[in-house]
Amino acid sequence: MQLLPQYGLIAAIALHVVTASAASEWNSSTTYAEAGQVVSYQGQLYTNGWWTKGDNPATSGAWGVWRKVNAATVTPASTPSSTLPPVATTAPNTAQPSVTAAPSATAAPSTVKAWDANTTYANKGQLVSYQGQVYRNEWWTKGDNPAQAGAYGVWRLVGSAQPTNAPSSTPFITPSATPTVKPSATPTATPTVAPTVKPTLAPTATPTVKPSATPTASPAPTATPTTAPTATPKPSPTPVSGLIPARSLTLEQPGDVGSLRAAQLRSFNHTPFQSTGYWVQPGDVLVVNYVYSGSAPNKQPEIWLHNIDDDTWNYDTAQKIKLNVGSNTIVSKVKAAVYVAAFNTPTNGELKVELLSGGRVMPRFVLGQHTAEEWQQMLLQYGDAPYAELVSRRMMLTASMGKILRHVDDPVALMTLWDEIVRLEDEQYGIKPGQAWPHNPTPHRFHFVELAPYDGWMYSWQYRMATASDDGAIGTVLNSKKLKTDGWGPWHELGHQYQMSTFTWADQTEVTVNLSSAYVQRALGQPSRYETQGTWTKTFAYLNQATRDFATQSDLFVRATMFWQLDLAFGRDFYAKLGTNYRNMPAAQRPSGDEAEKQTFIIETSRVAGYDLTPFFTQWGIAVSGDTQTKLRGMALKTLTDPIWLNRDSKVLYQPR
């Protein structure tokens, strides 16, 4: 899902060449579930960036779901380099990319320095020459021979180190209306989208940062009577058994992720993954034994070999193997982390999986099981793995080794904070331990993963939240200090996992999600971004207009303050009560369609507040229907006389009780 401005999500847009006569007319009642569908409206062609229903193409705006297209500019869907990373089935706002030609990195030898094994190439895109060829680095590197990088290494061959008559062209994708701006430490409030998105020239592998070798002392000059002694190399650490992940696992049985998601009215399935701490290369052989006690599970557990670069909806490129009772031999087709997934209804017995042979150890920190010192030993011992992972009770983080080494400061503080953030977002929606299902926390974890080829910022989707490798993005996920003080992006993406579609009508997906970020920000003692970014000034300017129409208010953060004012006026448990009411609502009574969702929200928020909130919504430019007014009169609610729309974080003037 898209974050604005810095935490932008770029939608997967598979575009097709279509003529106006071939495109169907846009219909407000039709669900356009797949990205890249083309419709005509008022003589103009549009294509959608994500799931949509009822969003008028002509009023979609610069960051809306619909983009104007024509046959000359639309790129066929079969071109991989024109496809951006995917978004969720609930609508984010993102800019339509355009395909542009950019000069390649081929350059004359006089302009490119020779590769030096002792030079650190810290910035992506640096050029070097080596053995008559020019190479470009994709991430931080030192000592990696360009000629030996291979298809997925840090160096990319971009041409011969000979002058060319003219630069060749390589397609790249940039959002048409978005400046290429890296995020500052403090997000701005202007709704813009992600940094420039560029498809890679070849599949981008996760960078492996090699630890520098321990130098040996050089001998003294021969003229001296004696030579300096050669430095004693530092011995490799001896493997410590406690740092090697156990090969025998008693599986958690959290239940089917889809059923649990539906019961809590969430947008996406949690991850089904249970971490093993092992990874494989293509051709590696895993021998896995599976047994169970008690009654047989209704679904077999599965081994998933998952490469973190997979950005498909259901992890379509993962190798998935259902386990039969007894020994199972698996030949890996991919470079991937090894996970076990259990989808069964919990049984009265145990499901046990053992990796009898195969699998390579990767650093894996488990909160409550390992110390920060042990984590450092893991990184030293198994630093040649492509990935590392941190696991707590509620969260799992997976990233490339280079980013782990660069950003993880304190694994204990980091994962403890993540568990607290998850607890807070549970709390906001009335989900607490000890309550009856579905009002208690899900037994599944959330999963934040680095998507190495992704040049957007962050998004939230099926099974995971994903972050780009850009240090400004992934740093806020992996560093405990940044996560606490500058974590609006990660809090926001986690919020999409909680977002309730029952009160997220058209164009509000990127609005109501900010309830989660604002709630966490306040709970962690951080200043409100609505105050620091000047949003309240814009809010009150809008509310002071003679006429107001909430649907046409283009500033997403201004719209978000309307929802936030209900929390400020009626208490921090306001949305906990509202979420509980919605989950308790019989399925047949849940609203369907934008207008029904809007009117139901007016009714249910009034019920929770104990006041008829008609004056509040009228002030905000949301029409209260006659039928809704009739229902509100029949609820014997108090009359709202306080102008709660004047509340702000720094000055809560009205709290009716």
pLDDT along the chain (657 residues), means of 10: 37 36 77 76 80 74 65 34 33 31 37 83 79 78 75 70 40 32 34 32 32 31 34 40 89 92 91 97 98 97 96 95 98 97 96 98 97 97 96 98 98 98 98 94 95 92 96 98 98 96 91 97 98 98 97 97 98 98 95 95 98 98 98 97 98 94
Quick one: which H or E segment has residue 320? strand 319-322
Short-list 598, 489, 492, 604, CA closest to 549? 598
Spell out the residues 6+ positions from residue 324 whose beta carbon is closer than 8 angstroms to its own: 290, 300
Q: Which two tokens stand for residue 350?
A: 């145990």
238, exposed or middle or buried, with CB in 10 Å at 0-12, 13-18, 19+? exposed
What is the CB neighbour count within 10 angstroms for residue 538? 18
CA distance 563 to 514: 9
Helices (DSSP H) in 486-593: which residue ranges?
Answer: 488-498, 509-512, 514-523, 529-532, 535-543, 556-570, 574-584
The per-residue b/e assignment along 599-613, b for 16 or more CB within 10 angstroms, e otherwise, is bbbbbbbbbbbebbb
Other CB atoms within 10 A of residue 258 CB: 13
User: pTM of the predicted model, to two decimals?
Assistant: 0.67
Of 197, 133, 110, nearest in space to 456 by CA: 197
Question: Which residues are registered as beta bridge partners of 319?
Answer: 305
Whole-angstrom distance, CA of residue 346 vs CA of residue 275: 19
C-alpha distance across the termini of the chain, in Å: 36
Can you give the pLDDT at residue 560? 98
Q: What is residue 64's predicted lDDT score, i.e. its pLDDT?
A: 61
Backbone angles phi, psi at 110, to 5 degrees: -65, -20
Distance from CA of residue 313 to its chain's centroid? 13
**Sign of the torsion formed by the C-alpha atoms of 599, 603, 606 and 608:** negative
Six token digits for residue 290: 């599976």
For residue 160, list its beta bridge partners: 133
Q: Are strands 66-69 and 44-48 parallel, antiparallel or unpaired?
A: antiparallel
Q: Quote the crossing angle between the two packed helices 488-498 and 514-523, to the nearest 10°.
A: 130
For 537, phi and psi rounded to 5 degrees?
-60, -45
Q: How far apart are CA 386 and CA 324, in angstroms?
A: 29
